[in-house]
Amino acid sequence: MEFQTKIGKSTPDQIFVHGYNLTEDLIGNITLADMAFLGAKHRKPTENESKMLNAILVAICEHGFTPSALSTRLTYLGSPESVQAAVAAGLLGAGTVYLGAMEYVAEMLQKAFEKYGEDKDIKELASIIISERKENGLQLPGFGHPIHKPADPRTTKLFEISEQLGFHGKNSQLLLEIHRQFCEEKGKTITLNAVGAIGAIMADMEIDYRIVKAFAVASRAVGLVGHIVEEMEAGRKKGVGQQLFDFVEEHTDYQG
Amino acid sequence: MEFQTKIGKSTPDQIFVHGYNLTEDLIGNITLADMAFLGAKHRKPTENESKMLNAILVAICEHGFTPSALSTRLTYLGSPESVQAAVAAGLLGAGTVYLGAMEYVAEMLQKAFEKYGEDKDIKELASIIISERKENGLQLPGFGHPIHKPADPRTTKLFEISEQLGFHGKNSQLLLEIHRQFCEEKGKTITLNAVGAIGAIMADMEIDYRIVKAFAVASRAVGLVGHIVEEMEAGRKKGVGQQLFDFVEEHTDYQG
Amino acid sequence: MEFQTKIGKSTPDQIFVHGYNLTEDLIGNITLADMAFLGAKHRKPTENESKMLNAILVAICEHGFTPSALSTRLTYLGSPESVQAAVAAGLLGAGTVYLGAMEYVAEMLQKAFEKYGEDKDIKELASIIISERKENGLQLPGFGHPIHKPADPRTTKLFEISEQLGFHGKNSQLLLEIHRQFCEEKGKTITLNAVGAIGAIMADMEIDYRIVKAFAVASRAVGLVGHIVEEMEAGRKKGVGQQLFDFVEEHTDYQG
Amino acid sequence: MEFQTKIGKSTPDQIFVHGYNLTEDLIGNITLADMAFLGAKHRKPTENESKMLNAILVAICEHGFTPSALSTRLTYLGSPESVQAAVAAGLLGAGTVYLGAMEYVAEMLQKAFEKYGEDKDIKELASIIISERKENGLQLPGFGHPIHKPADPRTTKLFEISEQLGFHGKNSQLLLEIHRQFCEEKGKTITLNAVGAIGAIMADMEIDYRIVKAFAVASRAVGLVGHIVEEMEAGRKKGVGQQLFDFVEEHTDYQG
């Protein structure tokens, strides 16, 4: 019985992580985000890959009082001794509804090129994808936003950076073309949201769609630190968790 | 009823996070780790703070087949559709036993200076702390390691970096002196482990001890991405999760 | 702003839960399992419903060293102060792979009657369902078991009880007929597993398929208590969590 | 390498759980709550133990819109496909603040008898415990309630049942005497809350204080089923999770 891994090994005076010497090659040389890249690709990112990835993860790290952040604060209220539980509770809502689209966009794009090859005209390919999803009753992922209209400022920024750094490849082009045709069809501009843009850029960074959402989850864990800090600083009684609980108690209409 | 926060606000075309414009000031300018710093201190880190923090979080991000990583893999086995659940399950073991020491070291040091002031001689202060904990039946946190003896290579590296970057302050000095006296007393070298070193350096970065562990938890979330990737790549039947489960089933001695 | 609920209300000297007076009508009168029924159906179960539900939940409560139970034990190793985290970690693996079938069976059956009405001949209906799933590339849920062959003893027992108590209705009949045709087609007996049987019986108890798995999750939470107890009794060093971790450490083949 | 357990074993046609034949001895014979007892004590409860335990677990199963229940609903909003994640998120807040007292009461009582023997006069023992905790700066657990004043109706009911069933032993007597002296000292009636009463009754049932809270956690998992059902029935847009999120968004005062 041998459990095989490329992840890590320790000797009394050395630690190896994905083939690198942790203290010589990694600590002090790479950023935290690069460790996720290392986990996904088994190699250190290039400088541009690191910049792109940090930009992406900074973009989705924090988004205010999401249901996720509220769960973290409510959990912290009952278990202030377990910050890990508060973070975990906040991650558990990162399911199909909010962050899922990142994975679905990457999947849609990666499978499109897998199925139809690299050489098809982008306009034609976009049109095929739109038709296929319509036939199968599948929504187009990555479009629409309740607040950011007509454009999501993160999408604009991330595509600007991805062009500069050389990651504006076929996947991003295909998503933008799908978006163009979709808006044309609807007769109005529907927001191409940040989660959608990230799905395309990560596909252009050649990150497997199945692991794309795990990056977002890790980024959210970083963002939740700030929510726990605010609860600590406000103190138990004035924290958002307690206030929310009090408010609900006072405004409950019992119909039993 | 108003819920107050410094964390975030969105308008149709702008997003503000901790007082910064997300797309103008943060995306493309700071690293993922800096977002945790921003959450804890309500300001962007300086360049040196960012380097130090990334070094720390890289150091504790990954440590091979920890109980934490095994929980992630076993959870992924049953819920491959929910990577967030697999990550969360891995974080839940980050309690008092493994990562707790980081918080306890920072607490011990920050409270020592709070109680005895900044001016006491370090040797004397170290001796007081050791005596006090002995009297109260409290262990000294941050010492000992099952594999890394007599030194933890991460500790050496992190203190080297903290000196270069200007974070080798009173807290690190006090921990090193406590360590020196403790080893002297024992008559042998006990490892000052990475978790202990990090507790001291983060205290020197003026991060409140109560939030220190949340940084480690966020870092572990990043590290767990790699474990999920290995399970994906190995495929269901050959993944470590399945192998572990099979092995236990075949080697169970039922005593009911 | 009013949050509406039938679940609960408190006054200084009374508590109401789903319309019942907690201390007068529920405590001492109903079982724990009945509280889940009350949550799902907004009424107390009849005596037979209570017996059936307890039988079902006892049947799936415990199944030895599952990946779920191992995650609980590994989590407890790092966070012995947070039994709630250990239980939660164990529940997170209750995804599509192991317990999902319970929901899929109930869904398949409930939707079959919804689509084709109550009056269709069971044999014909079973045959339609089998064909439809084949066409759509969907597996038949609830069949097969790695250990229990040719029959799952829990299936036999649960169907025996459901007949006695009057819950052997159209859903169970349809599943049994699907099973019969499926085995005939394969030319051998494939186990109708407990999770499948439960999906059918719960459908016959008129519990919505979307909530069926939540019952199983609650039952597993009860079962995990015993795993935590064993870890406590064995003591840190001799617990299964620690042994598992040690074993993996000693048998890791690092390929980085 | 052998992993020892009393919990479970499967052969092709039999399953053993804690030494009992699952299908012959347990399914149809015991209640779900009894499975937790079996896990904690390695034997089936007597009829009275089963009644007492069910009464206790019914009493703490549900308490309306707790922070815990709100986390479950907010998690369900993002991950409706993972009811196990919604339940887990709700359990994670069951830390030191709300349910912890159950464990602390049982610990206080069990350690009192361990330290001072069984023969000391209850009045004297209560007085010693009160003094000792005061000296050590420890609060008395189990007292006080924000709504139920001057008495918690569950406490009254549970003590009534525990007398009838023969579980009103030394631990309950000691807690009641501590309560009497504490109120006398304060010059007013402080509520002896349900969580405190349960800690005492479970101590009288000879359940180790370290496992007492795990029972409560399992019971809460059962209660959370009802919260998920309400979210399902209300539908995404009208669920409490979504309403809560909307309300917070509209009432956020950004101070960045």
Task: Provide φ and ψ at A146, rounded to 5°.
Answer: -65, -30
Distance (Å, rounded) from C-alpha B32 to C-alpha A42?
A: 20
Measured between CA atoms, the residue of chain C closest to residue A43 is C256
Here the tokens at position C18 are 């789903």
Please tell me what DSSP assigns to residue B17: E
Q: Chain A: nearest CA to C157, how far in angstroms?
A: 36
Distance (Å, rounded) from C-alpha D87 to C-alpha D225?
A: 8
Here the tokens at position B77 are 């086995």
Q: What averages of pLDDT result for each successive group of 10 residues across chain A (256 residues)?
A: 86 92 97 97 97 98 92 96 96 90 96 95 97 95 93 97 98 98 96 97 97 96 97 94 92 84
- Is residue C231 within a helix (H) or strand (E), and if so which, with residue range? helix C209-234
- Residues of chain B whose beta carbon is less than 8 angstroms from a beta carbon of chain C are 64-68, 70-71, 74-82, 85-86, 88-89, 92-99, 240-241, 244-245, 247-249, 252
DSSP B92-138: TT-STTTTHHHHHHHHHHHHHHHHH-S-S-HHHHHHHHHHHHHHTTP
Q: Which of B93, B145, B71, B161 is nearest to A15 (CA)?
A: B145
DSSP β-bridge partners for residue C17: C8, C20
Interface size A-B, in CB pairs within 8 Å, comes to 293
Q: Determine the average pLDDT of the residues in B7-21.
A: 91
Which value, to the nearest 10 degrees, does the dihedral of the CA atoms of residues B197, B199, B200, B203 take?
160
Q: Which of A137, A138, A111 is nearest to A125 (CA)?
A: A111
Q: In C136-163, which positions are buried (b, 16+ CB within 10 angstroms) versus exposed (e)?
A: eeeebbbbbbeebeeebbbbbbbbebbe
What lies within 8 Å, CB to CB, of B44 at 6+ separation is B20, B25, B26, B30, B34, B37, B38
In this complex, the residue of A23, A58, A87 whose CB is nearest that of residue B217 is A87
Q: Rg of chain D over CA atoms, in angstroms?
A: 21
Q: Determine the average pLDDT of the residues in C58-84.
A: 95
Start-end of H helices in A19-121: 32-41, 47-61, 67-78, 83-91, 100-116
Q: Rg of chain A over CA atoms, in angstroms?
A: 21
**pLDDT digit string (tens) for D56-105?**
999 999 988 999 999 999 999 999 999 999 999 999 999 888 888 999 99
Measured between CA atoms, the residue of chain A closest to residue B207 is A229
What lies within 8 Å, CB to CB, of B220 at 6+ separation is B60, B61, B68, B90, B91, B94, B99
Spans of chain D below 50 pLDDT: none
Please tell me what DSSP assigns to residue D4: E
| Residue B8 pLDDT greater than 90, yes or no | no
- Residues of chain D whose beta carbon is less than 8 angstroms from a beta carbon of chain B are 1-9, 16-20, 79, 81-82, 84-85, 88, 92, 248, 251-256
Here the tokens at position B218 are 């966020």
State ipTM. 0.96
Q: Rg of chain B over CA atoms, in angstroms?
A: 21
**pLDDT digit string (tens) for C127-140?**
999 999 999 999 99
Task: Provide φ and ψ at C121, rounded to 5°.
Answer: -60, 135
**pLDDT digit string (tens) for B71-105?**
999 999 999 999 999 999 999 999 888 888 999 99
**Other chains touching A, judged by 3 or more CB pairs under 8 Å:** B, C, D
Residue B244 with chain A: CB contacts under 8 Å: 3
Residue A88 with chain C: CB contacts under 8 Å: 85, 88
Task: Check CB contact under 8 Å for B256 and D9.
Answer: yes
What pLDDT does residue C192 have?
A: 97
Task: Check CB contact under 8 Å for B81 and D81.
Answer: yes
Q: Chain B: nearest CA to D1, how far in angstroms?
A: 7
Distance (Å, rounded) from C-alpha C213 to C-alpha C216?
A: 5
What pLDDT does residue D99 have?
A: 87
What pLDDT does residue D42 have?
A: 94
Distance (Å, rounded) from C-alpha D75 to C-alpha D228?
A: 10
The Cα angle at residue D56 between residues D54 and D62, in degrees rounded to 5 = 95
- Residues of chain A whose beta carbon is less than 8 angstroms from a beta carbon of chain C are 1-9, 16-20, 79, 81-82, 84-85, 88, 92, 248, 251-256
C-interface mutation test, from D37, D107, D154, D229, most C Cβ less than 10 A away: D229
Here the tokens at position D49 are 């133990």
Do C56 and C158 touch, CB atoms closer than 8 A? yes
What pLDDT does residue C132 have?
A: 96
User: What pTM was estimated for this model as a whole?
Assistant: 0.96
Cα B248 to Cα A249, B156, C67, D1, D7, distances in angstroms: 47, 38, 10, 9, 14
- Is residue A16 within a helix (H) or strand (E), and if so which, with residue range? strand A14-17
D-interface mutation test, from C30, C206, C229, most D Cβ less than 10 A away: C229
Here the tokens at position A50 are 């690191």
Start-end of H helices in chain D: 32-41, 47-61, 67-78, 83-91, 100-116, 122-135, 153-165, 170-186, 194-204, 209-234, 240-250
| Residue C1 pLDDT greater than 80, yes or no | no
* Residue bearing the bigger pLDDT, B1 or B128: B128
What pLDDT does residue B6 have?
A: 87
What pLDDT does residue A99 have?
A: 87
In this complex, the residue of B76, B81, B96 whose CB is nearest that of residue C81 is B96
**pLDDT digit string (tens) for A16-66?**
999 999 999 999 999 999 999 999 999 999 999 999 999 999 999 998 899
Task: Provide φ and ψ at C166, rounded to 5°.
Answer: 85, 25
- Cβ neighbours, 10 Å, residue A19: 17
Q: Determine the average pLDDT of the residues in C64-91.
A: 95
A-interface mutation test, from D70, D99, D148, D255, most A Cβ less than 10 A away: D70
What pLDDT does residue A1 have?
A: 73
- Is residue B195 within a helix (H) or strand (E), and if so which, with residue range? helix B194-204
By three-state DSSP, how is residue A234 classified? helix
Cα D62 to Cα A39, D140, D195, D197, D223, distances in angstroms: 42, 25, 13, 16, 5
Distance (Å, rounded) from C-alpha D29 to C-alpha A95?
A: 39
Measured between CA atoms, the residue of chain B closest to residue A162 is B28
Distance (Å, rounded) from C-alpha D235 to C-alpha B58?
A: 43
Measured between CA atoms, the residue of chain B closest to residue A191 is B12
What pLDDT does residue A156 have?
A: 97
* Residue bearing the bigger pLDDT, B53 or A64: B53
Residue A18 with chain C: CB contacts under 8 Å: 256
Measured between CA atoms, the residue of chain C closest to residue D244 is C3
By three-state DSSP, how is residue C178 classified? helix
Measured between CA atoms, the residue of chain D closest to residue C12 is D148
Distance (Å, rounded) from C-alpha C151 to C-alpha C181?
A: 16
| Maximal CA-CA distance, chain B | 65
Residue B64 with chain C: CB contacts under 8 Å: 249, 252
The Cα angle at residue C198 between residues C193 and C199, in degrees rounded to 5 = 100
Residue A16 with chain C: CB contacts under 8 Å: 254, 256
Residue B63 banded pLDDT, cuts 50, 70, 90: confident
Measured between CA atoms, the residue of chain B closest to residue C76 is B93
Distance (Å, rounded) from C-alpha C201 to C-alpha A11?
A: 55
Q: Chain C: nearest CA to D127, how far in angstroms?
A: 29
Whether the CA torsion B75, B77, B78, B84 is positive or negative: it is: positive
**pLDDT digit string (tens) for B137-165?**
999 999 999 889 999 999 999 999 999 99
From the centroid of its chain, how far is CA D65?
17
Q: Which phi-psi region, left, alpha or beta, contains residue C235 (left: φ > 0; alpha: ψ -120 to 50)?
A: left
What pLDDT does residue D8 have?
A: 84
Residue B255 banded pLDDT, cuts 50, 70, 90: confident
Share of chain B above pLDDT 90, in %: 88
Task: Check CB contact under 8 Å for C253 and A2.
Answer: yes
Task: Check CB contact under 8 Å for A85 and C82.
Answer: yes
The pLDDT mean for chain C works out to: 95
What lies within 8 Å, CB to CB, of D23 at 6+ separation is C153, C154, C156, C157, D14, D15
Here the tokens at position A247 are 């408010």
B209-234 helix and B47-61 helix, angle to the nearest 10 degrees: 50
